[in-house]
Chain A
Amino acid sequence: MSEKTSEGRAAAAAADALTAELAGREPAGVRLDQVSKHFRGGVQAIRDVTLTVAPGEFVVLVGPSGCGKSTLLRMIAGLEEVSSGRIHIGDKDVTTQLPQQRDVAMVFQSYALYPRMTVRGNIGFGLRMRRVPKEERARRVDEVAQILGLEHLLDRRPAALSGGQRQRVAMGRAIVREPQIFLMDEPLSNLDAKLRVSMRAQLTLLHKRLGVTTVYVTHDQTEAMTLGQRVAVLRDGVLQQVDTPQALFHHPVNLFVAAFIGSPSMNFVHATVDAGAVSFAGVRIPLPPGSPLADGGRRVILGMRPTSLSVASEDGAPRLTVTPAIVEDLGDERFVIFDVDAPRVDTDATRAAVDAQAEDDALLVPLDRATFTARLPATTPVTVGEPMAVAIDPARLHFFDPATGEVLQ
């Protein structure tokens, strides 16, 4: 036990030393200015992305596979050419610079460790290529190894490491360079679920300590929400919304972001607004006071989070009588899945968002009717097939234009 704490102290001291070194440098931000990418053959991977990452900020690029997030990251690294637009790192325009000229370090999904080098060689490679003197190199490699708990593995080859250890070596290789920007391309996706959660926390801690500007790519919205100070949602190469996780969750700008962020996903249903209320499946929910939708009638797509549904009580909140089809018990809460007597919302946007998390959404339910998920406390008595009343929180409704998918506010 005492050995463990002394080890921890050493790691903390090493981290402090590194922090002090990094503190001497002015952190740099990244600025993408109307960046586009066309691949040969006409595929447009990135369309006019403008994004500013503040110095020291942790920004996550998230989106379903094929949305261009990795391409965008590789463009910042210089591994992919920009078709139009400019990229700045700090005050410098790096658009036409080679990767080795940009002061960035990258962690790859496959880790990409050099198989014929030891852990020491792997971590020190970037310094060696930059002609850092031998003694300084050794000192910095030791320091980083200590932070990441790799001291006893320094002379091993990657083949002799476990997945988690390889991941840490890949991190070490980036950290040791003390770059202006960290770029991470799904660095946790090859770890098992438990290790991923603990590495996620480690990453947040590490970013707090080192304060290096980080751009992180993932397809996992949970990872995005937990890691990012700001999250940029991409779809088909177009930036949808860049905001804090809270804002993305509570104020999505369109149907895609609403469907993509949050787990379980937001429930959607076609509804009608008329005379100050929105109605679907025989329920009328009065609009909140001052809603711009109040005058005039129209069709909308109504969205509500699984958490804005609750067990109906006698407080007069609008209620829906439903028949639970599936109950998923998670211990202290349960997901109750039921269908609603209203047409299902099936647009490109919701499909794209749901495909990305298909593992959560393999449902055996009627396809022509809307399916809702409610997140209820485990104390709620629920029986499959037995009708129950569910209350809807009128303050937490989202309205979208059925034609454009944009939010109506």
Chain B
Amino acid sequence: MTTTSETSTRIRSRWAPYVTTVRYLVLFALVCVFLIPVYVLLVTAMKDPAQVSPSRMWNLPDSFSVDTFGEVWPTLEPGFRNSVLMALPASIISSLLGAANGFVLAKWRFPGADVVFPLILFGMFIPYQAILIPMRELLTDWNMVGGLSGLILVHIIYGLPITTLIFRSYFVTISDELIDSAQVDGAGMIRTLVFVALPIALPAFAVAVIWQFTSAWNDFLFGLVLTSTDSWPVTVALNNIAGGQVVPFHEAMAAALLASIPTLLVYVLMGRFFMRGLMAGALKG
């Protein structure tokens, strides 16, 4: 514990206690600002319908109730299920392909790699709107509009630039000798990737999956345009709850809270992987 007694042996400026106090006050104030929307979300979701009104949005509810969550769930559930079925494969497949791309671009160089990589990155800067109509046309031709398969495909492809970037940046930091060693030990490109590179790349994998899952889950535009009613993702379902003539704020808030749970869950589950240094011990010292 910090102590200012004479026996303390810590090296510190004599202003340190004040600086620390001020620093924490500032940080606390910023946290409060960032949490305001979450506060409104929570209290509104727990209010009785009669209490919900814009003029009283800051007030705490008279009685906390979770009934609203139960009321919106049946409306939200099909979209929620669709989103899980869509976002999981979209994020995992996109990350695996990104890992393969990143590995080849960083460690299994081929002529022209320096041209291919920027071209792939270019994909990150193409806005959804720009390709929406041709995409819909193409997928219609391929008979992939309406169900989830088209949406999954689009998210896999749209995720490739960022997952490729994540994995390439990660793989360039691992030693070339590790890859050389696997080759001399008898592993070809695929087996080097699977047995040596991927196990080391778990932190990158966590980052890529979190990123991809979140962006696929949060997407509204592709979900709306490429699927039919049965396959609407949760974002579209959420919009339907909030988009009526009279907005039932408490229901919208409760539904939004429910819809945000999976992305939070993915972060909590996978976040610990990139906190750990998994490369430790590969090389000397």
- Give A residues with C-beta under 8 Å from B: 74, 77-79, 98-100, 104-106, 108-117, 125-126, 129-130, 157-161, 163, 166, 173, 177, 183, 190
Contact = CB atoms under 8 A, between A and B. Distances in A.
A282 to B, nearest CB: 52
Contact of B183 (A100, A158, A159): A100
B281 A113 contact: yes
A111 B183 contact: no
Contacts of A111: 283-284
Contacts of B165: none
Interface of B: 175, 177-178, 180-188, 191, 195-196, 199-200, 278-285
B284 A166 contact: yes
B24 to A, nearest CB: 35
A114 B188 contact: no
A28 B175 CA distance: 30
A77 B196 CA distance: 19
Given A100-B186, A130-B186, A190 B285 contact: yes
A110 B185 contact: no
Contacts, number: 94
A110 B179 CA distance: 12
Given A113-B281, A115-B278, 8 more contacts: A100-B186, A106-B181, A108-B181, A110-B177, A115-B281, A125-B195, A129-B186, A129-B191
Contacts of B186: 100, 126, 129-130
Nearest to A102: B184
A217 to B, nearest CB: 13
Contact of B181 (A112, A157, A158): A112
A112 B178 contact: yes
A114 B183 contact: no
A114 B180 contact: no
Nearest to B188: A100
The 7 closest A-B pairs by CB, nearest first: A159-B281, A129-B186, A116-B199, A115-B282, A126-B185, A158-B281, A112-B181
Contacts of A159: 280-281
A99 B281 contact: no
Contacts of A105: 184-185
Nearest to B180: A79
B177 A108 contact: yes
Contacts of B284: 110-111, 163, 166, 190
Contacts of A130: 186
A115 B200 contact: yes
B18 to A, nearest CB: 42
With most chain A CB atoms within 10 A of its CB, the pick from B185, B195, B278, B281 is B185
A112 B281 contact: no
A112 B175 contact: yes
A159 B284 CA distance: 9
A116 B183 contact: no
A400 to B, nearest CB: 39
